[in-house]
Amino acid sequence: MTRPMAQKALTLKTLNKNNVWDIQENDIFRMLESVEKDADIRNSIRRYTDIIRGAFMIEELSEASSAMKSKFEKTGYKIGQIQIDENEKIVLAIKKRPISRVTDLTYENIHHITAAKLIEVLDKNFGGGWDSLSQSVKDIIESGFDISTTTLPKDRLHKPGGMYEKKVADGYEVLEIQKGTWVEAIFAKLKPETEKPRLKLITKNDEEDIPEDDYNKPDEDDVIDDEPAILGDDNITEDNYRTTFEIETSPDEEAENISDFGDE
């Protein structure tokens, strides 16, 4: 299972740090062809190249000899020529940044790899198992994948009907790490794409189907028939409404308090 590819062709103006991982070197050269014709792009070329550098390594070849081009091509770079304006051309060597170590994983590229690729990356970096990863790397991985682990004796890990069998049947990729006579199994599966909920406008006809909110209504048993009616605003006077009240003490109680103070 792979991530869905971008449905619409990207351009420099629609490129961002996330979707730049959807494209390849040839797409970059195609996009850069618009530099000469579009003054807005030419004036903002540094901003676009900064985005591209998030997913690609870019080298400008000052010496565009065959030997120099061959040197870069042997290491996986694609070579292309860009026309900046009528008088300037540059030769670029571009290569997609590899994701081969856990430290290569980012919140931007984690959504553009498969579970099989993740297992491959983890397999190259592991020693102590899932818990050996830093929390920041775990957070990045779990933002794009459902992860679960189990550690069992070798003879119990592949027990029929067990967790291993069920996870594999459910589409999880598995990495097994030997730990003496025990094995840690790490299961990884792409998280499903979530669709943002859309706002639904309620029409007049829909309002008829909305149940009445009676959450705060008192139950019939709670209603007291002989409860006095609340006075209306017109009936409130200073004789029947007060906002504060005082507690009067008896003279004997006050004298007792003074006596106690004197005894001290």
Give one DSSP letter per residue of 153-199, joined into a string: EHHHHT-TTSHHHHHHHTT-EEEEEEETTEEEEEEEEEPPPPPPPPP
Q: How far apart are CA 168 and CA 57, in angstroms?
A: 36
Q: 145-153 and 173-179: which strand pairing? A: unpaired
- Give pLDDT, residue 10: 86
Mean pLDDT of the chain: 78
- Give pLDDT, residue 227: 45
| Residue from 90, 58, 96, 50 nearest 76 by CA | 96
Please say whether the beta carbons of 41 and 35 come within 8 A. Answer: yes
135-184 residue pLDDT tens: 999 999 999 999 999 999 988 999 999 999 999 999 999 999 998 899 99
Q: How far apart are CA 151 and CA 161, in angstroms?
A: 16
Please say whether the beta carbons of 32 and 12 come within 8 A. Answer: yes
Residue 139 neighbours by CB under 8 Å, 6+ apart: none
| Residue from 44, 45, 40, 49 nearest 20 by CA | 49
**One pLDDT digit (tens) per residue for the chain, 264 residues:** 445 444 567 889 999 999 999 999 999 999 988 887 888 888 888 899 999 999 999 999 987 788 899 999 999 999 998 888 778 888 999 999 999 999 999 999 999 999 999 999 999 876 778 999 999 999 999 999 999 999 999 889 999 999 999 999 999 999 999 988 999 999 999 998 764 444 444 444 444 454 454 545 555 554 444 444 444 445 544 554 444 444 455 555 444 444 444 444
For 72, the token pair is 């870069």
| Beta-bridge partner residues of 146 | 189
Other C-beta atoms closer than 10 Å to the C-beta of 71 total 13
Q: 88-94, long-range: CB within 8 Å, 24+ apart, which pairs?
A: 90/60, 91/60, 91/61, 91/64, 92/29, 92/32, 92/58, 92/59, 92/60, 92/61, 93/58, 93/59, 93/60, 93/61, 93/69, 94/25, 94/28, 94/29, 94/52, 94/56, 94/57, 94/58, 94/59
Q: How far apart are CA 127 and CA 105, in angstroms?
A: 18
Q: How far apart are CA 57 and CA 93, in angstroms?
A: 8
**Terminal-residue alpha carbon distance, the chain:** 86
